[in-house]
Amino acid sequence: MVKDVRDRSIDPASQEMLDVCQRAGLETAWDRFDRQQPQCGFGELGLCCRNCNMGPCRIDPFGEGPLKGVCGATSDIIVARNLLRSIAAGAAAHSDHGRDVAHTFKLMSEGKAPSYHVTDKAKLERLMKEYNVESQIALAEAIMAEFGKQEGPIQFTRRAPAKRVELWKKLGIDPRGIDREIVEIMHRTHMGVDNDYVNLILQGLRASLADGWGGSMIATELQDVMFGTPTPTFSEANLGVLKPDQVNIIIHGHEPLLSEMIVAATSDPELVELAKKEGATGINVAGMCCTGNEVLMRHDVPVAGNFLQQELAVATGAVEAMVVDIQCIMPALGALAGCYHTKFISTSPKAKFPGAMHMEFHEETAIETAKTIVKAAVLNYQNRNPAKVHIPDIKTKCMVGFSVEAIVDALGGTLDPLLGAIKSGEVRGIGAVVGCNNPKVQHDFGHVNLVKELIKNNVLVVTTGCNALACAKAGLLTPAAADLAGDGLKGVCKALGIPPVLHMGSCVDISRILVAAAAIANALGVDISDLPAAGAAPEWMSEKAVSIGAYVVSSGVFTVLGTVPPVLGSTAVATLLTSGARDVVGACFAVEPNPFKAAKLMIDHIDRQRKKLGI
């Protein structure tokens, strides 16, 4: 049945490509989502337990069927255990990314990864001071040790305000080691271990903190050291960045360890020459998802789109290679790439895909492998079928790269102007809007409308991940977008020449938001939970987002989720997350699929916080 593409996405480039896909009979995530309907209610409610082989067990949400699993687990226990396993998976994904970056940093420090260099020496020195070590190798070892630590503390957690750290200690959720907390979740959720939903959830918060203030922050900081701390720069976003007369390479996934090398390889004169010999006018590399964010903010590499556009990019017929590493890469790409000349190239030993060509990437030989990959793409240009090429002529200018350091620079070297604007009310508060795409929400609708509503009400927005890319496409990451903001925020943005929505990077870079929140709280002499700030993930879908939500709330930030998490099968767990947590960590979750209502929840919260602060 033909679907109205306008119901599926608000992004005109995506609508155009969805139309192309429909006419060509190509299946996308939206079609597969439709075919999954109805989705299982037990799964939606979190009431299915598969943790042991007496099961699977399900609890009847209406109370007529079974109320306990074979072991006696109630809905509270099952829902809490399932939630914890999601947090563990999300924290593991971010932290394993952090581990890979730390490992590369260590190899580089030992002289074993000649493709990598220290780019931000000042940050390296700051980190050495923070870790109280004398050498780069000692720093590498100290950071690597965070993953296997048994007794804590994780150094970066101490960047949080002292009050917050004290609270974590009091609650017993100050993380002891990154890997330890994830392993402990797997242990506790094993049959017959932790069966107290409050105790379970506290462990979930501890593991999530080891992600946000541990694994993710390590990834961000060491990526900055190796590839440079982002500074504001301009680029373009959306499928229109693909070029009809050039070799198009899309880098998709999360770790800049690969994408940095691909970007470097594309300027290799021999490869550029080869591209010309093959009939192209050059090599065009474009990002997708978070690795796209990484090279977007460090090298102005244009970005082709966010999560739900990965298939649409291939369907342009103009992509010579889709090069992927880890996370958020749809296995559907293999079959889809098979309909075109596109080479789907996997690179990580951890992530192989059906229909992909595997060209394994190792830190020791990074640039050589990157050149081999780029060469394969260049040689594939001749195979492009011009009759199948359809590139939407849609792209939007964006200003990106607001690391904490860059924000402080933009403010003139100190946070004071921002604090002043917050106190005066010109900036009502700060909204952190992050997260994925999810076909449960009209693509980009939640992101764009929530952000627009916030800035209209003078809330300065900081963004990462797929929300950042949705904002980029919608033109919200330009200084001119200040015209869409309320008068107060508009004045501040115009004075500083910045957009009302600040692009802070990839999903691991939510750690930058934590650092910024801590710095603002410290400057005001309060805890993060006292700030006029709120978070949101309007279109979240991944387990990483569950971990992010948990660490943002445990850091003290009220967070609104746009899609319903699978916890509603237990009133006790749902109540704890949406109100009880406030008395424990000073913040809680709310669930609100309507972006306008979600904005209102955030603004009301910000106003209450302002009142409490007496500003």
Q: Which residues bind other proteins (CB under 8 A)?
A: 37-45, 58, 60-62, 64-66
Sign of CA dihedral 169, 171, 174, 180: positive
DSSP string, 395-441: -EEEEE---HHHHHHHTTSSSHHHHHHHHHTSS-EEEEE-----TTS
Contact present, 251 and 242 (Cβ < 8 Å): no
Q: Which is nearer to other proteins, 31 or 453 (CB)?
A: 31
Q: Which is nearer to other proteins, 44 or 278 (CB)?
A: 44
Residue 290 half-sphere exposure, CB side, CA atoms within 13 Å?
A: 30
Give least dist CB 46 to other proteins, A: 12
Give least dist CB 56 to other proteins, A: 11
Give least dist CB 60 to other proteins, A: 5
Q: Which is nearer to other proteins, 402 or 445 (CB)?
A: 445
Q: Which is nearer to other proteins, 58 or 106 (CB)?
A: 58
Could you give the 3-state DSSP secondary structure of residue 335? helix
Give least dist CB 174 to other proteins, A: 39
DSSP string, 14-51: HHHHHHHHHHHT---HHHHHHHTPSPPHHHHHT-EE-S
The two beta strands, 501-505 and 247-252, are unpaired
Q: Which is nearer to other proteins, 44 or 368 (CB)?
A: 44
The dihedrals phi and psi of 90, each to the nearest 5 degrees, come to -65, -45
d(CA 59, CA 77): 11
Residue 614 half-sphere exposure, CB side, CA atoms within 13 Å?
A: 2
In whole angstroms, how far apart are CA 600 and each of 96, 111, 215, 457, 574?
Answer: 36, 53, 32, 9, 21
Q: Which is nearer to other proteins, 25 or 65 (CB)?
A: 65
Give least dist CB 42 to other proteins, A: 6
Q: Which is nearer to other proteins, 45 or 560 (CB)?
A: 45
Could you give the 3-state DSSP secondary structure of residue 468? helix
Give least dist CB 39 to other proteins, A: 6
In whole angstroms, how far apart are CA 51 and each of 60, 72, 189, 192?
Answer: 18, 13, 8, 10
Q: Which is nearer to other proteins, 43 or 331 (CB)?
A: 43
Q: Which is nearer to other proteins, 40 or 193 (CB)?
A: 40
The two beta strands, 57-58 and 48-49, are antiparallel
Contact present, 156 and 222 (Cβ < 8 Å): no
Contact present, 342 and 394 (Cβ < 8 Å): no
Q: Which is nearer to other proteins, 59 or 450 (CB)?
A: 59
Could you give the 3-state DSSP secondary structure of residue 77? helix
Of 278, 367, 350, 355, which is closest to residue 322 (Cα–Cα)? 355
Give least dist CB 53 to other proteins, A: 14
Q: Which residues pair with 324 in a beta bridge?
A: 252, 346
Q: Which is nearer to other proteins, 42 or 227 (CB)?
A: 42
Give least dist CB 35 to other proteins, A: 11
Q: Which is nearer to other proteins, 38 or 111 (CB)?
A: 38
Contact present, 392 and 238 (Cβ < 8 Å): yes
Give least dist CB 30 to other proteins, A: 15
Q: Which is nearer to other proteins, 90 or 562 (CB)?
A: 562
Give least dist CB 37 to other proteins, A: 4
Q: Which residues pair with 462 in a beta bridge?
A: 432, 502
Ramachandran quadrant class, 431 (left: phi over 0; alpha: psi -120 to 50; beta: rest)? beta
Give least dist CB 58 to other proteins, A: 5
Residue 343 half-sphere exposure, CB side, CA atoms within 13 Å?
A: 23
Give least dist CB 34 to other proteins, A: 9
The runs of H, that is alpha helices, within 192-314 are: 197-210, 216-227, 256-266, 269-277, 289-299, 310-314
d(CA 507, CA 93): 11
Give least dist CB 289 to other proteins, A: 29
d(CA 320, CA 356): 13
First to last CA, the chain: 55
d(CA 591, CA 542): 16
Give least dist CB 195 to other proteins, A: 22
Q: Which is nearer to other proteins, 40 or 615 (CB)?
A: 40
